[in-house]
Amino acid sequence: MTPSRPLKEIRMTTSLTSLETILAHPRELSPHHVPIIRDTLPVIGAHIDEITPVFYRTMFGNHPELLRDTFNRGNQKLGAQQRALAASIATFATLLVDGKSPVDMLARIGHKHASLGITADQYQVVHDNLFDAIVQVLGEAITPEIAAAWDEVYWIMAGVLVDFENALYAEARVEPGDVFRTAVVLAREDVTDSVTVVTLGGPDGGDLPDFRPGQYTSVGVVLPDGARQLRQYSLSAAPGSGTWRIGVRRVDAVSGGAGPCPAGEVSGWLHAHARVGTTLQVTLPFGDLVLDAAGTGSGPDAAPVVLCSAGIGITPMLGMIAHLSATDDPRRVLILHADRSPDQHVLAEEVAGESSLLADAEVHTWYEHGADAASGPGTVHPGLMDPASVGLPADAHVFLCGSTGFLQSMRPRFLEAGVPEHRIHAELFAPNDWLV
């Protein structure tokens, strides 16, 4: 199968085009391909779990450096990243044939790609290996007409993402893929037995690049086998200081239950080796879970915001809270957080301190265990989070960050409470095949 849209045609500079416009108006699917895609979507969907292992096995065989230095090896072992990529293409195809906007899905993917330094030529690698896998699995069922239709879907999606990612690079004033920088550990605090907070600065006492509240950086470490693995960590302080702060939750190996989970390679390395003076590889900040990109406005007319998190998902929220505090933002802010117990609630004192400086803020905390003995922050509730019980501000924008299960539980609750879908903004660092 060959690309219907040559790669050179999608390598274009788009720094003068708004990011939202790039995502909102992809090239339309050829009319004669629409019924083919609509008819074959169920077949492709039914075979995704067969196609993706063949695809990744083939691609990593041809390009082992991608597994070693770019893809998350832990997620590959679990199969989550494999399903997420295939699901994103199927979801995009569905949006194309239904005439719906792909903005939210593509923004999340594009920011993640920019944080990894993805460049246009890598889309050709994915294309060639993915379509080889489709042919291997489905064989003669893939007629030339079906191949051409899905080829067009892929290159429309790739073209939009390349344009968007090039615009992100242009906005950061760097060449495509030139996002890797050096940072030095300035401070470290072990806040629980599994979470450490690390403060980073530039080399030789210099500043790190500024960022938007809610964004993240990819941290790269070289492991004992020589692999360079990258993971994303939210920046949990207000921008403008020249330093960054990240919260790193160590991911321990788990067996049994819902299935085995390997230990986190990067989080484990950081917990074991990151000390004051340690040099780390980081990327420029990216991420679309930011206040100023969500249409919330500013000043007295700014829309109220609901910052809703669980566990280590508090980190981007704290960055937003600190920014709102530092800028004397007058808007209504409702801060909702869920955790297993008070002793597992990281950065609780900072949330309490920063939120107390806000003009109109309310904090609610839910603990599965130990709520009776907890003194805050804010009003403490036992059990699982129930956002409808605290009274959501009218016209609020909701920002969500937490585990897959938490987001899957909370999104429908906010929708049921009357929050429109376009006002719900979510961040999830784990690969997924539902929030793509």
Q: What is the pLDDT of residue 72?
A: 79
- Residue 436 within any structural domain of the chain: no
d(CA 434, CA 83): 10
What are the φ/ψ torsions at residue 192 (nearest 5 degrees)? -140, 180
Q: Is the same domain home to 342 and 198?
A: no
Which stretches of the chain drop beneath a pLDDT of 50?
1-17, 433-436
Q: Is the same domain home to 153 and 199?
A: no
Q: Is the same domain home to 367 and 333?
A: yes
Q: What is the pLDDT of residue 173?
A: 96
What are the φ/ψ torsions at residue 336 (nearest 5 degrees)? -120, 130
Query: CB of 1 within 8 A of CB of 64?
Result: no
Q: Is the same domain home to 343 and 248?
A: no
Q: What is the pLDDT of residue 258?
A: 53
> Which residue, 263, 283, 303, sits at the end of a domain?
283
Q: What is the pLDDT of residues 222-262, one digit of tens each?
A: 999 898 999 999 999 999 999 999 999 998 877 655 555 77
Q: What is the pLDDT of residue 296?
A: 65
Closest CA to 337 of 385, 288, 392, 285: 385
- Residue 435 within any structural domain of the chain: no
Q: What is the CATH number of the domain that holds 192?
A: 2.40.30.10
> Which residue, 111, 138, 171, sits at the end of a domain?
171
- Residue 1 within any structural domain of the chain: no
Q: Is the same domain home to 55 and 86?
A: yes
Other residues' Cβ atoms within 10 Å of the Cβ of residue 123: 23
What is the distance, to the nearest Å, from the Cα of residue 198 to the centroid of all Cα atoms in its chain?
A: 20
Q: What is the pLDDT of residue 293?
A: 56
Query: CB of 341 within 8 A of CB of 382?
Result: no
Q: What is the CATH number of the domain that holds 148?
A: 1.10.490.10
d(CA 85, CA 57): 14
Q: What is the CATH number of the domain that holds 399?
A: 3.40.50.80
Q: Is the same domain home to 312 and 413?
A: yes
- Residue 317 within any structural domain of the chain: yes
Number of structural domains found in the chain: 3
- Residue 2 within any structural domain of the chain: no
- Residue 184 within any structural domain of the chain: yes
Residue 298 corresponds to which amino acid? S
**Which domain does 14 fall in, by range?**
7-171
Q: Is the same domain home to 354 and 320?
A: yes
d(CA 27, CA 155): 10
Q: Is the same domain home to 87 and 36?
A: yes
> Which residue, 171, 199, 225, sits at the end of a domain?
171
Q: Is the same domain home to 141 and 265?
A: no
- Residue 434 within any structural domain of the chain: no
Q: Is the same domain home to 13 and 160?
A: yes
Q: Is the same domain home to 268 and 299?
A: no
Catalytic residues: 123, 165
Q: Which residues pair with 219 in a beta bridge?
A: 231, 282
Q: Is the same domain home to 162 and 21?
A: yes
Residue 17, classed as helix, strand or coil, is: coil
d(CA 86, CA 108): 15
DSSP code per residue over 165-219: HHHHHHHTTS-TT--EEEEEEEEEEE-SSSEEEEEEE-GGG-PPPP--TT-EEEE
Q: In what order do the strands lie in the sheet with 332-339?
A: 379-382, 360-367, 332-339, 305-310, 397-401, 424-427
